[in-house]
Amino acid sequence: MSFLWSNFGQVWNLTLSHVWLSALPIVIGFVISLPIGWVANRYRLTRAALLTIGGILYAIPSLPLFFAMPALIGTQILSPLNVIVALSIYALALMVRTTADALASVPGDVLQSATAVGFSAWRRFWTVELPLAGPVLLAGLRVVSVSTVSLVSVGALLGVPNLGQLFTAGLNGYYPEEVAVGIVMIMLLALVFDLILVGVGRLLMPWTSADRRARRLSRRAAMRAVTGA
Amino acid sequence: MTDILAAFGWIFDPVNWAGASGIPTRIGEHILYSLLTLLLACAIALPIGFAIGHSGRFRGLAVGLSGALRALPTLGLVVYLALITTNLSIGPPLIALTILAIPPVLAGAYSGLESVDRAPIDAARAIGMTGWQVFTKVELPLALPLVIGGIRSGALQVIATWTVAAILPVGGLGRFLIDGIAIQNYPEMLGGSIIVIVLALVSDGLFALAQKLVVPRGVTAGRVRDTTEGEARHSGRASAPEGAPTT
């Protein structure tokens, strides 16, 4: 632990940039996935096309995608935008499928009831569909969150500052303790992100902890996100 | 656009195709490392996953462990193992990447077995099959598409992480990326990246094909496909093997 205490300032700064580099892609991927997932769920043709594109994007290895970013969006190789945009693409690729599944999990008779009592399509989406799709969305977001926090560290190979720099610096200086601190900090960060997501979920959807159907659906969504099946 | 042209110029430059650090050698190394890692991961994860899926025990433990392993940063684990063993050969990254490939393979194995409908299993028992026969002749064939799905995710991850492991002095396509950044040669980095991406997509396509081919004849519901209905269940009628009594 001596490394952590003598370099606390540096580790703290790297942690802060790690938080930004992880949080932005998670939020961006989630927000963009809502309209795209809605379209994917709405029409059978777009569903097949969008899910296939998502699957292909998700299959692209992370480090090569980081390296391809300057050629695709015209950034410098050291720019944090490479990591943010690439990880947003992964988050989006995974969340489009989850969002489509989540919206499909909303029972049809509930939607018809909402229409019958006079909800407009817009209002029905925000007040009925989205809240009921919430548990499955949350399950997908938790998978995205864990893998994003872990993948940001690969960005250190491009020279983008984050906790992954403890790995490259630890290797160059033959200092395993520095590497261990990086691993522990990243896992702690992933845990904190997960607790925040679960907490927000409890606040926004207080009914889910008692709802067994919602729990089963979110377990299945998490499994699909992991195995890709 | 000029970057991409330069990268393809690098890929098709004959100079980069010759010798022990040429493109064919690196591709060969990358495939060899990846296959070895995947085989090790399968040897460990498949039996455990089948046991969990067959018995239904220790499921919570496997899910929790897989989640925790997913949070483990690859780069950190690779570097840490190399440093504490003071070994810069392919041994430490091989161990690290095998550990990280276990969760997807394990998840595919037990969720595949769990997805098999009870009716054909009960029918198989009723006609006198032993536990082992039920597993090899009924459960495994029906679960195979999902099991291969797990190996498919594992393969993608292994191909991706061997690229990252090139931070250590090992071979494989990651060399072009890591060495390219050291000498600020962007065409080399991008060219290497394009080859890795193609390799990953080809592997993914082959596994997707295998998933379709292993579906037993007569089975439609066992196939991995998108169910538009969130609540859709496998119907006993559709997932029973051909010729089996249907309900």
Q: What digits encode the pLDDT tens for the residues A39-75?
A: 888 888 888 888 888 888 888 998 999 998 888 888 8
CA gap B186, B53 in Å, rounded: 47
Q: B 141-200 residues with CB below 8 A of A?
A: 145-146, 149-150, 152-153, 156, 159-160, 163-164, 167-168, 174, 177-178, 181, 186, 189-190, 192-194, 196-197, 200
Q: Which has more pLDDT, A140 or B57? A: A140
Task: Give the list of residues 6+ apart from residue A136 with CB closer than 8 angstroms, or none.
Answer: A98, A101, A102, A105, A214, A217, A218, A221, B230
Is B150–A227 a contact, with Cβ atoms under 8 angstroms apart? yes
Q: Which of B70, B153, B177 sits opposite A63 (nearest CB)?
A: B177
State the nearest Cα–Cα gap between B199 and chain A, in angstroms.
9
B60 close to A (CB below 8 A): no
What does residue B194 show for φ and ψ, rounded to 5 degrees? -60, -40
State the nearest Cα–Cα gap between A147 and chain B, in angstroms.
6
pLDDT in the model for residue B236:
33
Is A149–B75 a contact, with Cβ atoms under 8 angstroms apart? no
Q: Which residue of A has its CA nearest to B204?
A: A59
Domain ranges across chain A = 2-227
Q: Model confidence over A147-172: pLDDT tens digits? A: 899 999 999 988 888 999 899 988 88
pTM: predicted TM-score of the whole model, two decimal places? 0.84
Q: How many CB pairs under 8 A join A and B?
A: 170
Mean pLDDT of A118-127: 89
Task: Say if residue A207 is exposed, middle or buried (CB neighbours under 10 Å; 0-12, 13-18, 19+).
Answer: exposed
Q: Which residue of B has its CA nearest to A133?
A: B230
Mean pLDDT of A133-150: 90
How far is C-alpha A200 from the geometric centre of its chain's CA atoms?
15
Q: Which residue of B has its CA nearest to A148?
A: B71
Is A154–B71 a contact, with Cβ atoms under 8 angstroms apart? no
* Domains of chain B: residue spans and CATH: 2-11+29-216 (1.10.3720.10)
Task: Report residue A27 as tokens.
Answer: 């939020």
- Cβ contacts (< 8 Å) between A136 and chain B: which residues? 230
pLDDT in the model for residue A227:
55
Q: Is pLDDT of A3 > 80?
A: no
- Cβ contacts (< 8 Å) between B104 and chain A: which residues? 226-227
pLDDT in the model for residue A59:
87
CA-closest candidate to residue A14, choices A159, A177, A145, A175: A159
pLDDT in the model for residue A192:
93
Mean pLDDT of A122-139: 88
Band (A223; pLDDT cuts 50, 70, 90): low
Q: Is pLDDT of A209 > 90?
A: no
User: Which long-range contacts link B183-187 to residues 24+ away (Cβ below 8 Å)?
Assistant: B186/A70, B186/A77, B186/B3, B186/B6, B186/B7, B187/B3, B187/B6, B187/B7, B187/B9, B187/B10
Mean pLDDT of A2-25: 87
pLDDT in the model for residue B7:
80
State the nearest Cα–Cα gap between B126 and chain A, in angstroms.
30
- Cβ contacts (< 8 Å) between B182 and chain A: which residues? none
Q: Is pLDDT of A101 > 80?
A: yes
pLDDT in the model for residue B8:
83
pLDDT in the model for residue A92:
93
Is A157–B178 a contact, with Cβ atoms under 8 angstroms apart? yes
Is B73–A164 a contact, with Cβ atoms under 8 angstroms apart? yes
Q: Percent of chain A having pLDDT more than 70?
A: 92
B133 close to A (CB below 8 A): no
- What string of pLDDT tens digits covers the 247 residues of chain B? 788 888 887 888 887 787 778 888 899 999 999 999 999 999 999 999 888 888 877 877 877 777 778 888 989 999 999 888 887 888 889 999 999 899 889 888 888 888 888 888 888 889 988 888 888 888 888 888 889 999 998 999 999 999 999 988 888 899 889 988 888 888 888 889 999 999 999 999 999 999 888 887 767 654 454 444 433 333 333 333 333 333 3
pLDDT in the model for residue B79:
92
Task: Report residue B161 as tokens.
Answer: 């992480």
- Cβ contacts (< 8 Å) between A180 and chain B: which residues? 80
Q: Which of A67, A175, A187 sits opposite B193 (nearest CB)?
A: A67
Look up the CATH number of domain A2-227.
1.10.3720.10
Q: Which has more pLDDT, A140 or A208? A: A140
ipTM of the complex: 0.84
Mean pLDDT of A162-186: 89
Q: Is pLDDT of A111 > 70?
A: yes
pLDDT in the model for residue B10:
80
